Amino acid sequence: MKFDSLGLRAELLRAIDAQGFTTPTPVQAKSIPVILQGRDIMASAQTGTGKTAAFALPMLHQLSQKPAQGKAVRALILTPTRELAAQVQENIRDLGQYLPLKSAVVFGGVNINPQITKLKRGVDLLVATPGRLIDLMQRQCVDLGRLEYLVLDEADRMLDMGFLPAIERILKAVPAKRQTLLFSATFSREITQLSGRFLNNPVRVETAAPNSTVDAIAQEAIQVDQARKRELLSWMIGHHNWRQVLIFTRTKHGANRLAKQLGTDGLPAAAIHGNKSQGARTRALADFKAGRVRALVATDIAARGLDIEQLPHVVNYEIPEVPEDYVHRIGRTGRAGRDGLAVSLVAGSEHGKFEAIRKLVEVKVPTRVIEGFEPTEGLNHSTGGKRGGGGGGGGRGNGGRAKTGRGKSARGSNNDGRAPAGKRSNRQKRYRKAA
């Protein structure tokens, strides 16, 4: 199937061609015809497979077929994080560049006044995080009374972040007669319940097993003591001359500390998380994309919103409390069919969490030990680990070797105030604040 067989406008085909794409991904091929028919949809696909274009292209096509009435918003896309909102807006702008439609993005952490000014001029498509949108609604600066399309992007993460009350409030302000599109990389019982409440007889689209990972991503786990994780990470980056690696920690404090420690080891690094100002988050991401920093340390709040072209390496410095977060973390690499490597550093106390991840993704993730970094605490002999002399793949370059900083490694985040596993409300509070 080609894009030109989907019945899209010539202007959209021209924009798609400018992006270098000719063949739709499975989620695009299955979703676009359904949305063009006017049906509600509940779509699940692996992260990095083009979900944004799957809903943006048919919406742009339909909106351009009829003129706008006044300055009311005609399509609303809700996303859980600022980074994802900015990414979706950028994609919509590129896909709709040859159409006379206006789009805008609004999220917290930045001055609200320019956003108000843009909304007063009128926009057809609005990308928003729930908190900032409600703020604008309270100020009566956004008109949702004639909304035609509502998109819930990464709906599972919005629920996990505690946004259900905000979503319900927004839905009360939009017309009952609308087309609702729910997209997510994972489905859960809560998502199914949400679709039953807010969608009208939706068509369910699944292009892969729920919570599955992309085949192009090579995955491996390395057993190591918590106290030596930073030392091993620095050694791997330098030994293999990794020029761009995205590293995930569980806490904001842990992200700041690790970025600083990597810098001490001679590896330019930056941190990105919810406590950073939006300007700092934008600069850190820009520096990482441009190669000015080799390592970007992020919390799970950033897992959904980071779209980095050809990102080769992702490292789980700490294993996530929620197994589904693993899918979204490693989904930052292996995007658009490109190869990627995801490495998880597993301490003795984290074996239970990683076994839960193995069960979720149903993938045999090989486990090994690196010579010189053999674990001494809580070694799990049941995972079939193998001894290796180098860190997970990548080109072996002799440039960029990092100092190991023996004796100075941080003890991880055992005492950093993270919430115990299972305390969902604490995670929701942290996520809500960060978004």
Domain co-membership, 114 together with 259:
no
Burial class (CB in 10 A: 0-12, 13-18, 19+), 225: buried
For residue 348, being part of any structural domain is answered with yes
For residue 115, being part of any structural domain is answered with yes
Domain co-membership, 202 together with 231:
no
- The rounded distance, in Å, linking the Cα atoms of 303 and 325 is 8
Which whole number is the average pLDDT over 113-120? 95
Domain co-membership, 311 together with 188:
no
| pLDDT at site 84 | 86
The two structure tokens encoding residue 249: 């920690």
The residue among 298, 308, 258 whose CA lies nearest residue 276 is 298
pLDDT digits (tens, 9 = 90+) for 189-248: 788 888 888 999 999 998 765 555 566 688 999 999 999 999 999 999 999 999 999 999
Cite the beta strand spans of 61-188 per DSSP E: 75-78, 103-106, 125-128, 149-153, 179-184
- The rounded distance, in Å, linking the Cα atoms of 295 and 309 is 15
Domain co-membership, 110 together with 147:
yes
| pLDDT at site 206 | 85
Contacts (Cβ under 8 Å, ≥6 apart) of 46: 185, 207, 208, 212, 213, 214, 331
| pLDDT at site 127 | 98
How many residues are there in the chain?
A: 435
Domain co-membership, 27 together with 8:
yes
Q: Does this model's pTM top 0.75?
A: no
- The rounded distance, in Å, linking the Cα atoms of 302 and 82 is 9
Domain co-membership, 175 together with 38:
yes
Q: Which domain holds residue 394?
A: 217-414
Secondary structure element (H or E) that encloses residue 65, with its range: none
| pLDDT at site 98 | 96
Q: Which residue would you say has higher pLDDT here, 159 or 263? A: 263
Residues of the chain with pLDDT > 90: what percent?
54
Q: Which of 206, 225, 248 marks a domain boundary?
A: 206
For residue 426, being part of any structural domain is answered with no
- The rounded distance, in Å, linking the Cα atoms of 130 and 169 is 10
Mean pLDDT is highest, among 176-180, 402-406, 425-429, for: 176-180
Task: Look up the CATH number of the domain holding residue 142.
Answer: 3.40.50.300
- The rounded distance, in Å, linking the Cα atoms of 190 and 156 is 8
| pLDDT at site 12 | 97
pLDDT digits (tens, 9 = 90+) for 50-105: 889 999 999 999 999 987 777 899 999 999 888 889 889 999 999 999 999 999 99
For residue 430, being part of any structural domain is answered with no
Report whether 107 contacts 118 (CB < 8 A).
no
Domain co-membership, 228 together with 133:
no
Report whether 404 contacts 234 (CB < 8 A).
yes
Residue 131, pLDDT above cutoff 80 = yes
| pLDDT at site 20 | 85
Q: Which of 175, 206, 237 marks a domain boundary?
A: 206
Which whole number is the average pLDDT over 270-289? 85
Which whole number is the average pLDDT over 290-299? 91
Domain co-membership, 182 together with 73:
yes
The residue among 249, 259, 307, 254 whose CA lies nearest residue 280 is 259
How many folded domains does the chain comprise? 2
The residue among 403, 255, 377 whose CA lies nearest residue 316 is 255
Measured in degrees and rounded to the nearest 5, phi and psi for residue 346 equal -110, 115
For residue 421, being part of any structural domain is answered with no
For residue 212, being part of any structural domain is answered with no
pLDDT digits (tens, 9 = 90+) for 157-185: 788 778 889 999 999 999 999 999 998 77
| pLDDT at site 377 | 74
Domain co-membership, 250 together with 313:
yes
Q: Which of 206, 240, 261 marks a domain boundary?
A: 206
| pLDDT at site 203 | 95
Report whether 197 contacts 170 (CB < 8 A).
no
Domain co-membership, 273 together with 407:
yes
Q: How confident is the model at residue 383 (pLDDT cuts 50, 70, 90)?
A: very low
For residue 427, being part of any structural domain is answered with no
| pLDDT at site 400 | 37
Q: Which residue would you say has higher pLDDT here, 225 or 275? A: 225
Q: Is 297 helix (H, G, I), strand (E, B) or coil?
A: strand
Q: Which residue would you say has higher pLDDT here, 45 or 297? A: 297
For residue 394, being part of any structural domain is answered with yes
Domain co-membership, 283 together with 388:
yes
Domain co-membership, 225 together with 355:
yes
| pLDDT at site 380 | 52
Residue 389, pLDDT above cutoff 80 = no
Report whether 190 contacts 198 (CB < 8 A).
no
